Every structure is written in structure tokens, then in C-alpha cells.
Structure 1
Amino acid sequence: MKSNFILGMCLLFLVQYFVRSEWLQLILAVCAVIAFMGSVLRARTVPRIFSVLMFASGIALTAWKGQGIEAAAQGIVSNLPLLTLLVLVPLLSIPFKMGGFFDSILAYLKRYRNSPRKMFMGITGVLFFLGPILNLGSIRIVHDLLKDFRLNAAFLSKAYLIGFSTTILWSPYYAAVGVTLLYLNVSIGDYMAYGFGLAVLFLVAGNVMLGMWARKRDLETDDESGAGITAADRKRMKQLPVIIFSLMLVAIAAESLTQWSMLVLVSLLALLFPLLWVSVSKQWGLLKNHVVEYRNKSVPVMDNEIMMYISAGFFGQSLRDTSFGEGIGLFMTKLAEISFLWFALFILVAMVCVTFVGIHQVVFVTVFATQMDPAALGTTKEILAIVIMLAWSASSVLSPVNPINLLVSGLVKRSSIQIGLRDNGLYLALVSAMGIAILTIFH
């Protein structure tokens, strides 16, 4: 019942986006409040506390400013585009499951099971391309493929976190990019050159560092075999990057032509891509089974995200035109006037600190991005966006309570602090320094 309600709310949002009806917005706000309340008891303790405080603050600030129900409703639904994206994007994985692409990925990874450097390159490459489509599910899928390989735990934590953290920087199908571009009003076409460029650079840096790490531990061997790779596997692996890049290009082109929100476009593609796939393959029964599995397993585990996104959006919007919000904007402007380098470092360090105590990055971005003016900061919207995404990526790896860190920690059986600081701390320090230096030069 709850999954059907959440999916219905997301579909209603897509309708309201095009209809632009005030009464539909009020209905959506009521649905969002119901979804928020329904997630309170199931969410983790820290997200629950911060979400309830932000929602209550949003109500208090809206009332203090003398605004009515319409303003409150607008604030409550402000992050529904992001929530809709988060809920619907897992549907994109269904065609890949139906097409046998994951089996072909496994066949190729088996080929490099005795070559850590090439295995690392394979894992990070797979996560780089599948992460934007499958979100955290990509790590689970890759780990399931590798469960019989008995790979070193530190090796896996490096591969999973380096590979996935790069996707956070660039993909329009990833919620982090979507919310940042939404609040800064940045086109994905304008942003992509920065995001994709840095992501590729960081991916290469991670593989180079792994090569040095592997040689120090004498992990490298030359035993490779192409056994088990069929002609069908080769065909699928050639098709996979073409399909993924086609999805990216369709989203970018559609945004340019329609001027619709990228979050809405990606959500629509998540609905249309499985239908297009099955209209060609004619596997309607298999599609139904996958959709039922998605509804029963993927949607019910999003309580933390539902609470955080709805409350953060409401709180961020309610801060507009308040002395506190203006104070944030003034502080950031003064800091940027002193030095853009100090400004970028503050964003990085502040986001890492707040995520360390359990506050989701969407809270930080919603509060700060809604109060910052790129022109007043002396930079462009695109540079500001990539600074935020660099901080988001680093904090996702380092924070011991971030879902990405916790997932990998559970899979490789190492503590969150170990996989964040010990296994990936040097890598993060290097790429963060590289990224900030490059952005300072471009700025």
C-alpha cells in the first residue's frame, strides 16, 4: 500500500508539472505530508530527528513571515522533483536485467580475476557507467557478481567507493547532480563539461594509485583467460556503453529543446525506457515480474530519503527572505571576496563535517544553494555547482553514517571509518586538491 502511494504521488507530480494547477499542488503537498509522517517511525534515528526539526522549523518560519497555505504547499513540494527522480530511476535497471547485461559483465570480470589492476579498472569502469543508472544498486549488483572471487577487502572498498564516487560528479540521472542543478538553475549541457571531465580525471587518478598500492603488496599476476566469454557477451558489452550514452544524450537534447526540468525529463525516461525495451523484446510477462519486484523491494526502503528530501526542501524554501538566510548569503559572499580557494575549501570541509554527524548532503545543499548568488560570489553557476558536487562526492566516501559508506562497509566487512579514511583518505585528499586547484584556475 505504501509503495503504491509513493509511486502515485510521483506520477501525480509529473502530471502537475505540465498542468500547473494550484489545487493539484495542494493535493501534492497533502500527499507529501502523509508520506513524511508515514516514514517517521521507519527512518533511522538521526535522519528522523533532523527531518522533524527542519519540518517544524519550516512551519514556524512560514507562519512568522505571515505566509499562507499556498506558500507552505510550495515549500513542501519543492523537493518532489528530486524525490520523484530517486524513486523512478531504479526502473532503468529493468531492461539491463532482462537483456542479460549483468551476466556479460560478470564474464568479463572473471577474465581479470587474477590481475588486480585490471580487475580494479573493470570494477571502477562498470560503476562509472552503471552507477548513474542503478544508483546504490550498482554496488550491490557488482558485489553479488564478485562474491565468489574472494578479493581483498581493502581492494574492494577502494574499487567500490572510487568507482561510485565519480558518478556523483557528472550524471544527470543521479539525484545529487539533479538537486544541485535545480537550485542553481544550471543546464546539464553547460555543466557536463566540468562534471564529466573531473570524473574521468578522478577515475584515472584512482586507477593509477591502485596500481602503486597493488605493486607494493605483490598482488599483480599475469594469469588471464578469455574462457567463458561468448559472442553474445561481446555483443552486449559493445551495446552497453552505447545504450547508456544514448540515454545521456537524449536527456541533454530533450532539456535543450523543451527547457523542461532535467529531473522531470529523467523521471519520464525512467518510465519510457523499460516500455520501449519491452515493446521490441515482447517480454511483457518478465517486465511485470520486475516491476512488481521493484515496487515491493526498492520503494519501501526509501524512508530516510523521503523524510530528508521533503523536510529539507520545506526548510530551505522557508529560509528565503529571512535574516538567517541573508546572513548565510552574506557570509559566503564575504568569504569568496577574500579568496575563491577559501570559499571552495569551506564548502568541502563544511559538507564533510555535517555528513559526519549524520546530516544528509541534501540538507546542506538545499539550505546553502538557495541563499547563494553566483554573481555576488564572483563566479559562474557551473563552477559553483561543481564545487558543491566535489564536496558531495568526498563527503559520501568519508562520512561513517552516509548510505554509500555504510553499504560498502557492510559488504566488505570493514568499519565505516576504515573504508572511508584508511582505505580512501589519501585518494580523496589528492583528488580534492586537484579539483579545487583546477576550479580555482577556471574561476
Structure 2
Amino acid sequence: MRSYFILSICFLFLVQYFVQAPWLQLLLAAAAIIAFIGSITLARTVPRIFSALMFAAGIVFTVLKGQDLNAAATAINSNLPLLTLLVLVPLLSIPFKLGGYFDSILVYLQRLNNSPRKMFMGITAVLFFLGPILNIGSIRIVHELLKDLKLNASFLAKAYLVGFSTTILWSPYYAAVGVTLLYLHVSVGSYMSYGIGLALLFLVSGNVLFAIRSKKQKQELTEEQFVPVKPIDRKRLRQLPFIIAALMLITISAESVTHWSMLVLVSLAAILFPVVWGFATRQWQPLKRQITDYRDKAVPMMNNEIIMYISAGFFGQSFRGTSLGDGINTFMIRLSDISFLLFALFVLVTMVVVTFIGIHQVVIVTILATQMDPAALGTTKEILAMVIMLAWSAASVLSPINPINLLVSTLVKRSSLQIGIRDNGVYLLVVCTIGIALLTYFH
């Protein structure tokens, strides 16, 4: 029943986006509050505490500012575009799963089993392409493919986090990019060149660092360890980049033509893509089973995300215009006047520290982005977005209680601190140094 209610909120948001009826806005806010109350008891302790505090603070700020019911409803609904994206995007994985694309990826990865550098490059490249579509689920899928290869835990921790950290930087299908572009009012088209450039920097740097460390390891495959590749596997692997590129191109082009929110366009694509695939293949029964599985298993697991996104959005919007919010804005402007490098380091360190103590990045980004004025900071919206995304990516890898770090830690059976700091600390230090230097130069 909860799954139907959460999905109903997503569809109601999409309707409200196009209809723009005040009564729908109020109905949507009421539904969001019900979802928040229903999910908070099922969430983990840390997100539950912080979400409750943020929601209560949002109420206090709203009352002190003397805002009416419509303003409060708008604030409560402010992060529903992101929540809708988060809930619906897993639907994109269904055609790839039914089409056998994951099986074909496994065949190619198995061929690299005795070549650490090639295997590392293969895993990071797969996550670079699948991450934007499948989000955090791409790590779980790749691990399921590789579980029988008995790969070293430290090796997997590096490969998974290097590969997925690139997704956080550029994918319009990922909530991190969505929330940043939403609050800074940046179009995906103008952001993509920056995002992909920094993502490729992360990908290349991670592979180079691994290659330097693994120089003494044997790189040749023996002939008997090659896995035969069928023509259908070659066909699928050739098709996969084009399908992903087509999805990206369609949504980006639609944004430039319609000027609709990219979050809405991606959510619509997530609904339509399985339907189009069903018409093309006529495999309606397998498709129905996968959608039922998604409804019954994936949607009910999103309690932490539901309460964090709703409360962070409400808090961030109600916080705007307060004396404390204005003080944060003034502080950041003064910091930027002294040095943009100092400002970028402040954002990076703040994001990492706050995430380390258990607060999700969406909270600090909502607070900072709603108070930031790129013109007052003396920079462009795109550069400011890149600074935030660089900090978000680093915090996701380092924080021992971030969902991405926790997932990898669980899969490879190493502690969160080990995989964050010991396995990937040098990598993050290198890419963050290069990234901030480049952003400061272009700024």
C-alpha cells in the first residue's frame, strides 16, 4: 500500500508540474507530509533525527516569517522533483536487464580476470556508463556480475568508488546533479561540458593511479582463461553506449526545446522507456514481473531518502530570507572576495565534515545553494555547480555513513573508513586538488 502511495505522489507531482493548480499544490504538500510521517518511523536513526529536526525548524521559520499556507506548501514540495527522480529512475534498468545487456557485460569482464589494470579499467568504464542510468544500483549490479570471480576486496572498493564517483559529477539522471542545477537554475546543456570534463578527469586519474600502484602485477592473460564471446554479446555491447547516449540526447534536446525541468524530463523518460521497450520486443509478461518486483521491493526501501529530501527542501526554502541565512550568504561572499580558492575549499571541507557526522549532502547543498548568488560571488552558475558537485562526490566516497560508501563497504566486507580513506584517500586528494585548481583557473 505504501508503494502505491509513494508512486501516486510522483505521478501527482508530474501532473501538478504541467497543470500548476493551487489546489493541487496543497494536495501534494498534504501527501508529502503523510509520506514523511509514514516513513520516519521506518528510517535509520540518524536520518530520522536530522529529518525531524529540519522539519520542525522549517515550521518555526515559516511561522516566524509570517508565511501563508501556499508559501508553506511550496516549500514542502520544493524537493519533490528530486524525490520523483529518485523513485522512478530505477525503472530505466528493467529493459537493460531483460535485454541481456548485463550478461554480455559479464562476459567481457570475465576475460579481464588476470589483468588487474584492464579489469580495473573495465569496471570503472562500466560504472561510468551504467551509473548515470542505474544510479547507485549500478554498483550492486556490477558486484552481482563479479561475485564469482573472487576479486580482492580492496581492489573492488577502489574500482567501485572511482567508477561511481564520476556519475555524481555529471549525470542529469542522478539526484546530486539534479538538486544542484535546480537550486542554481542551471540548464543541463550548459553544465554538461563542465561535468563530463571533470568526470573524465576523475576516471583517467583513478586508472592512472591504480596503474602506477600495480606495476609489479602480472598483466598477461593465459589463453585458456579467455571466455568465448558470442555474436549476440558483441551486438549488445555495441548497442549499449548508443542507447545510453540516445536517452541522454533526447532528454537534453527536450530540455532545450520545451524548457521543462530536466528532473521532470528524466522522470518521464523513466516511465516511457520500459513502455517503448515493451512495444519493441512484445515481452509484456517479463516486463510486468519486473515492474511488480520494482514496486514491491525497490520503492518501500526508500524511507531514508523520502524523509531527507522532503525535510531538507522544506528547511532550505523556509531558511531563505532569515537573518541567519543572510549571514551565511554574506560570509560566503566575503570569503570569495578574499580568494575563490578559499571559498571552494570551504565548500569542500564543509561538505565532507557535515557528511561525516551523518547529515546527507542534500541538506548542506539545499542550505548553501539557496543562499548563494553566483554574481555576488564573482563567478558563473556552472563553475559554482561544479564546486558543489566536486565536494558532493568526495564526501560520498569518504563518509563512513554515506549510502554509497556503506553499500560498497557491505558488498566487499571492509569497514567504511577503510574503503573511504585507506583505499581511496590518495585518489580523492589528487582529483580534488586538480579539480579545484582547474575550477579556480577557469573562474
TM-score, length-normalised on structure 1?
Answer: 0.99
Q: Map 1:187-226 to 2 at 5 A.
A: 187-216=187-216, 218=217, 220-223=219-222, 226=226
Distance (whole Å) between structure 2 residues aligned to residue 54 and residue 140 of structure 1 = 31
| 1:35 Cα deviation from its structure 2 partner | 0.5
Distance (whole Å) between structure 2 residues aligned to residue 364 and residue 108 of structure 1 = 40
- Report the equivalent of 1:414: 414
| 1:227 Cα deviation from its structure 2 partner | 2.9
- Report the equivalent of 2:50: 50
- Report the equivalent of 1:143: 143
- The amino acid across from 1:391 in the alignment is A
Is residue 100 of structure 2 the alignment partner of residue 100 of structure 1?
Answer: yes
- Report the equivalent of 1:342: 342
- Report the equivalent of 2:4: 4
Kept in 2: contact 1:78–1:313 (CA 8 A): yes
Kept in 2: contact 1:88–1:270 (CA 8 A): yes
- Report the equivalent of 1:384: 384
Output one character per residue of 1:325-358: Cα deviation in whole Å (capped at 9) or x when no partner.
1011101000000000000000000000000000
Kept in 2: contact 1:180–1:388 (CA 8 A): yes
Distance (whole Å) between structure 2 residues aligned to residue 76 and residue 219 of structure 1 = 56
- Report the equivalent of 2:440: 440
Output one character per residue of 1:64-95: Cα deviation in whole Å (capped at 9) or x when no partner.
11111111111000000000000000000011
- Report the equivalent of 1:33: 33
- Report the equivalent of 1:396: 396
Kept in 2: contact 1:214–1:220 (CA 8 A): no
Distance (whole Å) between structure 2 residues aligned to residue 184 and residue 307 of structure 1 = 23
Distance (whole Å) between structure 2 residues aligned to residue 330 and residue 11 of structure 1 = 39
- Report the equivalent of 1:163: 163
Distance (whole Å) between structure 2 residues aligned to residue 204 and residue 116 of structure 1 = 16
Distance (whole Å) between structure 2 residues aligned to residue 251 and residue 226 of structure 1 = 39
Is residue 64 of structure 2 the alignment partner of residue 64 of structure 1?
Answer: yes
Range that drifts further, 205-214 or 332-341: 205-214
- The amino acid across from 2:395 in the alignment is S
Distance (whole Å) between structure 2 residues aligned to residue 123 and residue 230 of structure 1 = 20
Identity percentage over the alignment?
70
Distance (whole Å) between structure 2 residues aligned to residue 148 and residue 215 of structure 1 = 25
Q: Secondary structure at the match of 2:149?
A: coil
Q: Map 1:257-336 to 2 at 5 A.
A: 257-336=257-336
Distance (whole Å) between structure 2 residues aligned to residue 355 and residue 201 of structure 1 = 24
Distance (whole Å) between structure 1 residues aligned to residue 20 and residue 255 of structure 2 = 19
Output one character per residue of 1:339-394: Cα deviation in whole Å (capped at 9) or x when no partner.
00000000000000000000000000101100000000000000000000000000
Distance (whole Å) between structure 2 residues aligned to residue 309 and residue 381 of structure 1 = 23
Distance (whole Å) between structure 2 residues aligned to residue 258 and residue 219 of structure 1 = 53
Output one character per residue of 1:203-239: Cα deviation in whole Å (capped at 9) or x when no partner.
01101111122224x2534336543210000000000
Distance (whole Å) between structure 2 residues aligned to residue 202 and residue 127 of structure 1 = 13
Distance (whole Å) between structure 2 residues aligned to residue 222 and residue 142 of structure 1 = 21
- The amino acid across from 2:69 in the alignment is I
Distance (whole Å) between structure 1 residues aligned to residue 218 and residue 255 of structure 2 = 46
Distance (whole Å) between structure 2 residues aligned to residue 226 and residue 255 of structure 1 = 44
Distance (whole Å) between structure 2 residues aligned to residue 101 and residue 143 of structure 1 = 15
Give the aligned CA root-mean-square deviation in angstroms.
0.8
| 1:305 Cα deviation from its structure 2 partner | 0.5
- Report the equivalent of 2:228: 228
5+ long unaligned stretches in structure 2: none
- The amino acid across from 1:169 in the alignment is L
Kept in 2: contact 1:55–1:315 (CA 8 A): yes
Q: Secondary structure at the match of 2:214?
A: helix
Distance (whole Å) between structure 1 residues aligned to residue 136 and residue 180 of structure 2 = 19
Distance (whole Å) between structure 1 residues aligned to residue 3 and residue 222 of structure 2 = 48
- The amino acid across from 1:28 in the alignment is L
5+ long unaligned stretches in structure 1: none
